[in-house]
Amino acid sequence: MRAWMILWMLWEAVAIAAPPSVSPVPTGKSPAGEVSTTDAVFRVPVQPREAWGWNLGMPGVLEFGWLVELTTPTGQYRLGVQVWHVEGSMPAEGTLAELIGSGETGVWRMPEAHGAPLAEMPVSVEVQGDDLVIKVSEPSTLQTLFLARPGTFRLITHRGHGPSPDQRLRREQAQTVTLVYRD
C-alpha cells in the first residue's frame, strides 16, 4: 500500500513538472488574422461545449489560454486571454463568455507570459458564436505589434487540467497562421 502512494506522488510530481506538449490546434475551421489601418482582428475557433468548468486544477495553474503570438523587431508578444486558477477561488461552471470574463485579457511580452498584462497595450476579447475574437484597436499597440508587418502569427491554446479536479495534464497546442493585411 505504501509503495502505491509513493508511485502516485511521483506520477503527480512528473505530470505537474513536465513541460507542456505542443501539437496542432484541433478545430473544425481555420483561425484567421486580419490587420487594417484601424485594428487587428483574430478569430479563434473554439470547440463548442454546453458548459465550461474552471478553478478545478491546482491553484496557480494556467487552466485555459487562447493567445496570438507575434514576433516583432521589438520582441515577441502574446495577446489574448489567460484563465489562471487563483489561490482560494472556488470551482465554477458557466458559458464560454463567463469563463473568458474570469480571466486576464491583454498583451504579455515573452518569454514571460504570466503576471499582469502590459497596461499600455490594451486588447479586447469577446465570444462570437463558436469563435473567440481578439481585437487590437489602440493605435500605439497596433503600431508596436504590426508596423513591421509580421507575415504570420502562432495561435496558442492552453489547457491546464483534465475535465475533473483529480486529472493533471498540461497541454499547449500551437498552429502557425498567415496574417492578412487590408490597407
Average pLDDT over residues 162-180: 71
* Per-residue pLDDT reduced to its tens digit, 122-160: 999 999 999 999 999 999 999 999 999 999 999 999 887
Which residues have CB under 8 Å from 37's CB, separation 6+?
Answer: 183
Per-residue pLDDT band for 161 (boundaries 50, 70, 90) equals low
pLDDT higher than 80, residue 1? no
Strand 21-23 and strand 171-182: pairing?
A: parallel
Q: How far is CA 7 from CA 3, 24, 165, in A?
A: 6, 31, 19
Which residues have CB under 8 Å from 130's CB, separation 6+?
Answer: 45, 46, 47, 48
Tell me how far apart the alpha carbons of residues 129 and 126 are, in angstroms, rounded to a whole number: 10
* Per-residue pLDDT reduced to its tens digit, 12-39: 433 333 343 333 444 456 789 999 999 9
The whole-model pTM stands at 0.79
* Low-confidence winner among 29-33, 41-45, 100-104, 128-132 (lowest mean pLDDT): 29-33
- Show the cell assigned to 147: 508596423
**Domains along the chain with CATH numbers:** 22-182 (2.60.40)
pLDDT higher than 90, residue 166? no
Kindly report each contact of residues 118-123 with a partner whose C-beta sits within 8 Å and lies 24 or more positions away, as own/partner: 121/77, 121/79, 121/145, 123/79, 123/80
